[in-house]
A and B are shown apart, each in its own frame.
Chain A
Amino acid sequence: MYVKLFLARSSVKGALLASLVLATPMACLADTNSEKLGMLRTIRPNNDTDVKAASSAVKQLSESSSIDLIDVLKSMKGASPLGKNWLLGLANTLHRKSPETTKDALRAFLTDASQDPEARYTVFRWLTDGDAELKAKMLDGMLQDSSPELRFEAVAKVLNSSETLETGVLQTLLEASRHPEQIVAIIGRLGKQGVTVNQSEHFGFLDTWKLIGPFDNVGSRSFDKEYAVETDYADGKSLAGSYNGKSGAVQWVTETTADAEGVVDLAKVFNNEKGCIVYGVATVELPADLDCEIRVGCINAQKVWVNGKLVIANEVYHTGMQIDQYAAPVKLRAGTNQILIKVCQNEQKEAWAQRYVFQARLCDSTGKAIATK
């Protein structure tokens, strides 16, 4: 209708009027699009109202002639993880409609490290899909990329390129890599070249723990039971004394693990006790306040507190364990920081259900170990 109006009027006045009329609905559309993108960015978990609105918004935006793919990608920055997936799904739809026309803009977006890492990795995939040569070329400059996925691919590309990489190359990869499997592989290959890397130190595993137990967990009933160790810890009391354990008084013992993956073997320390709970305390000294992550691997049910705050809790027994299995952001402070872990063992009799182990480390948000003592 607006186009028809424009064509019908030949006077300057008419053209100006038509331009205004044209501009206004486009601006409105842009505002509407912006509102919808904003809603998708902040969609709340477990909220049907939001899900319904998001479903409607995605449909309308997918069909909109005024939506810009780059705007959608940019809107992923700062969005919630949930919101990012809605936006990513929309972006995929828009990209499929015009895969060729936006390549220059996509390249510019990819090189802008300030944009959302997941959005940038998605763009990387679009641009390199089916073009191995271009993919390899692009990855050459991405060893230090802020996107964990791009960095992972860049490390993998070099690591998988040859079985006989030079020591210097492997050391560069080790410095760049943040993914546990890659790190372990690189350290293994360095070891074959006679270069020893302290793997536990590289990851930042907490290797020295004060342990106390066993406390009763028969019937797996004590995951949420607050033994005196917990209440004393919460009250800021000293944890140096003895406590009433499962079969009498128990006292703290110090255990330092030499395991390359920082694994503390509670079955070994506590004589394969079953139906029990053991607490562990590690202390970390820091020169200044620090935002970081605590990452735990544990085959048993566990809770973790950092400086008195519960940060991890998983009542799960014998369903797998790996480095960085559970992670939580934490604020450490200048001076002494205390980490308390509660590890619960059940009474399963299967051979694969006898492990009673955990590992824990402190690192930055990318997975790089933080300096502690």
Chain B
Amino acid sequence: MRSLLYSFLAISLSAPLGIGLCVADDWKQFRGPGALGASAGSRLPEQFDGASLKNVAWKTAIPGRSVGGAIVVGEQVITTTGDGMDQRRIRLLSYDAKTGKQRWEQQLVARGRPYCHPTSANAAPTPASDGERVYAFFSSNDLACVDLQGNLVWYRSLATDFPKAGNDVGMSSSPVVADGVVIVQVECQGDSFAIGINSTDGTTAWLIERPRKANWSSPTMVKMPSGKSGVILQSSGDLVAVSPSDGKAMWKMEMGCSTTPSAVADGNRLIVPSGGLTVLDLSSAGAPSQLWKENKLNPNACSPVVSSDKVYVVNRTVLVCGDAFTGKVLWQLRIPDAKQIWSSPVIAGNRLYLFSMEGACFVVDISGEEGKIVETNQLGDEVLGSPAVVGNAMYVRGATTLWKIASE
């Protein structure tokens, strides 16, 4: 009953039209339902602590390293890791959401290049799920599909299929799944493409060429005016919407987009990290028109997050809030003592949770005219992935630990 209430609140308060918004209790992709990074009906503890385990329901150490987020599918919290020699052992792991006990594991060997900057990891992308299967992508361009019991369904080595694909700084684009197709964006100086792969058997549904420039952003699912699904692909040279079923372009705009933070679809507005933020109107057919553009809303690494008609971006260590309809900057808040922030923030109710790379979580009250840090919590592990929020719990994938934060 409570989960139904959360579903209702999440849908009605944030009114997203993104794909994958079936059950608010699930967080099945990078930045969750609609890729909004928000769960309006959730209430999370403001205080928690990795050392004393205050408001830590459970934590579990995970071998290797990950900088991606965890997803939540039903009662399972699913994450990936790369461990062993050169992080070549790529693993999908499932944990019971209530107890933290491991449910299953699947393990393969990276067939592409696992090398990356020490800050990153081979397990950088966040996995995705359609509720039936899990799709895990790695920097080494290995793509594995398992069922919800961890059984291998299919596997693709995109590095074998496209030998010049890869980036030794590390790749990080997360997959999305819609209309029975898994979409993966691989852009680098070598083989660059977006590929749609049939979710049931791993065969190629479509393949399109993409610019041969390094890009770490992820595809974003949107609902087009026709009611059909669309996949937004951004790069330093273009912004394109393609059909997930056949990869055909629905529209294309020549514009320079950021190559790290990803776009957000909030209803019929597409919020694109481009020249700061550029917001496009998706309400009519054809290429969208620009609603506003604001260079002071400049997300340098984290993806923007939208809630209650406000948009939030993190520019290095400054949290900036803007009006989602006009782009007007409403307030700025410097995050003290944060050296680097990679983790895209999440919003639960009227609190924004922002993790620094060092594992400090800044809880920001966003209900007033100014943002205010109400708590600073330490987890004691690096955090680069974006947390998952389901119900009144937050699942944080640290580099070496998975945490469930919930009130005691």
CB-CB under 8 A for A317 and B189, given A84-B109, A88-B107, A179-B85: yes
CB-CB under 8 A for A52 and B202, given A148-B85, A320-B115: yes
List of B residues within 8 angstroms of A319 by Cβ: 167-169, 188-189, 214
B380 to nearest A CB, angstroms? 21
Interface flag for B60 (CB, 8 Å): no
The reply to whether B201 and A325 form a contact with Cβ atoms under 8 Å apart is: no
The reply to whether B104 and A96 form a contact with Cβ atoms under 8 Å apart is: yes
The reply to whether B156 and A51 form a contact with Cβ atoms under 8 Å apart is: yes
Closest to B145 in A: A55
List of A residues within 8 angstroms of B104 by Cβ: 96
Measured between alpha carbons, how far is A153 from B105 in the docked complex, in Å? 21
Measured between alpha carbons, how far is A184 from B160 in the docked complex, in Å? 30
CB-CB under 8 A for A59 and B153, given A52-B202, A320-B115, A325-B115: yes
Q: Among A56, A85, A149, A320, which residue has the most Cβ atoms of chain B within 10 A?
A: A85
Interface flag for B366 (CB, 8 Å): no
CB-CB under 8 A for A51 and B108, given A315-B189, A316-B190, A319-B167: no
Chain B, 149-206, CB within 8 A of any chain A CB: 150-157, 160-162, 164, 167-169, 188-190, 200-204
Contact string, A22-51, partner B, CB cutoff 8 A, digits 1/0?
000000000000000000000001101001
List of A residues within 8 angstroms of B168 by Cβ: 316, 319-322, 325
List of B residues within 8 angstroms of A48 by Cβ: 203-204
Interface flag for A82 (CB, 8 Å): yes
Measured between alpha carbons, how far is A153 from B89 in the docked complex, in Å? 13
CB-CB under 8 A for A51 and B203, given A45-B161, A82-B157: yes
Interface flag for B144 (CB, 8 Å): yes
Measured between alpha carbons, how far is A59 from B133 in the docked complex, in Å? 14
Interface flag for B377 (CB, 8 Å): no
Measured between alpha carbons, how far is A321 from B108 in the docked complex, in Å? 25
Closest to A313 in B: B164
A300 to nearest B CB, angstroms? 11
Interface flag for B101 (CB, 8 Å): no
The reply to whether B203 and A90 form a contact with Cβ atoms under 8 Å apart is: no
The reply to whether A52 and B153 form a contact with Cβ atoms under 8 Å apart is: no
Interface flag for B111 (CB, 8 Å): yes
The reply to whether A315 and B151 form a contact with Cβ atoms under 8 Å apart is: no
List of A residues within 8 angstroms of B200 by Cβ: 55
Interface flag for A62 (CB, 8 Å): yes
CB-CB under 8 A for A90 and B164, given A81-B111, A82-B111, A179-B85: no
List of A residues within 8 angstroms of B202 by Cβ: 51-52, 54-55
Size range of the interface on B? 35 or more
The reply to whether A52 and B201 form a contact with Cβ atoms under 8 Å apart is: yes
Partner among A51, A89, A121, A322 whose Cβ is within 8 Å of the Cβ of B152: A89
Closest to A316 in B: B189
Contact string, A43-84, partner B, CB cutoff 8 A, digits 1/0?
001101001101110110010000000000000000001101
Interface flag for B286 (CB, 8 Å): no
The reply to whether A314 and B190 form a contact with Cβ atoms under 8 Å apart is: yes
Measured between alpha carbons, how far is A179 from B115 in the docked complex, in Å? 14
Interface flag for A92 (CB, 8 Å): yes
Measured between alpha carbons, how far is A121 from B108 in the docked complex, in Å? 11
B173 to nearest A CB, angstroms? 15
CB-CB under 8 A for A82 and B160, given A149-B85, A322-B115: yes
The reply to whether B108 and A85 form a contact with Cβ atoms under 8 Å apart is: yes
List of A residues within 8 angstroms of B150 by Cβ: 92-93, 96
The reply to whether A52 and B117 form a contact with Cβ atoms under 8 Å apart is: no
List of A residues within 8 angstroms of B89 by Cβ: 149
Interface flag for B378 (CB, 8 Å): no
Partner among A88, A89, A118, A315 whose Cβ is within 8 Å of the Cβ of B190: A315
Interface flag for A122 (CB, 8 Å): yes
A53 to nearest B CB, angstroms? 9
Interface flag for A356 (CB, 8 Å): no
Interface flag for A152 (CB, 8 Å): yes
The reply to whether A89 and B115 form a contact with Cβ atoms under 8 Å apart is: no
List of B residues within 8 angstroms of A46 by Cβ: 160-162
A266 to nearest B CB, angstroms? 19
Contact string, B127-148, partner A, CB cutoff 8 A, digits 1/0?
0000000000000001010100
Closest to A47 in B: B161
A148 to nearest B CB, angstroms? 7
Q: Among A89, A314, A316, A322, which residue has the most Cβ atoms of chain B within 10 A?
A: A89
Closest to B162 in A: A46
Contact string, B87-128, partner A, CB cutoff 8 A, digits 1/0?
011000000000000001111110100011100000000000
Closest to A86 in B: B155
The reply to whether B85 and A152 form a contact with Cβ atoms under 8 Å apart is: yes
The reply to whether B151 and A93 form a contact with Cβ atoms under 8 Å apart is: yes
Measured between alpha carbons, how far is A57 from B392 in the docked complex, in Å? 42
Measured between alpha carbons, how far is A90 from B107 in the docked complex, in Å? 10
List of A residues within 8 angstroms of B105 by Cβ: 92, 96
Contact string, A300-319, partner B, CB cutoff 8 A, digits 1/0?
00000000000000111101
Closest to A320 in B: B168
The reply to whether A92 and B107 form a contact with Cβ atoms under 8 Å apart is: yes
Interface flag for B256 (CB, 8 Å): no
Measured between alpha carbons, how far is A320 from B84 in the docked complex, in Å? 21
Measured between alpha carbons, how far is A105 from B105 in the docked complex, in Å? 21
Measured between alpha carbons, how far is A81 from B107 in the docked complex, in Å? 14
List of B residues within 8 angstroms of A118 by Cβ: 109
Partner among B84, B116, B142, B157 whose Cβ is within 8 Å of the Cβ of A149: B84
CB-CB under 8 A for A314 and B164, given A51-B202, A52-B202, A319-B214: yes
A79 to nearest B CB, angstroms? 12
With A82-B160, A319-B167 known, 4 other A-B pairs at CB within 8 A are A54-B202, A92-B150, A122-B107, A320-B117
* Top 5 A-B residue pairs of the complex, sorted by shortest distance between their CB atoms: A89-B152, A320-B168, A46-B161, A48-B203, A55-B154
Contacts from B to A (Cβ < 8 Å): 84-85, 88-89, 104-109, 111, 115-117, 142, 144, 146, 150-157, 160-162, 164, 167-169, 188-190, 200-204, 214
11 contacts between A and B (CB under 8 A): A51-B154, A55-B153, A58-B154, A81-B109, A85-B157, A88-B109, A153-B84, A314-B190, A319-B167, A320-B117, A320-B167
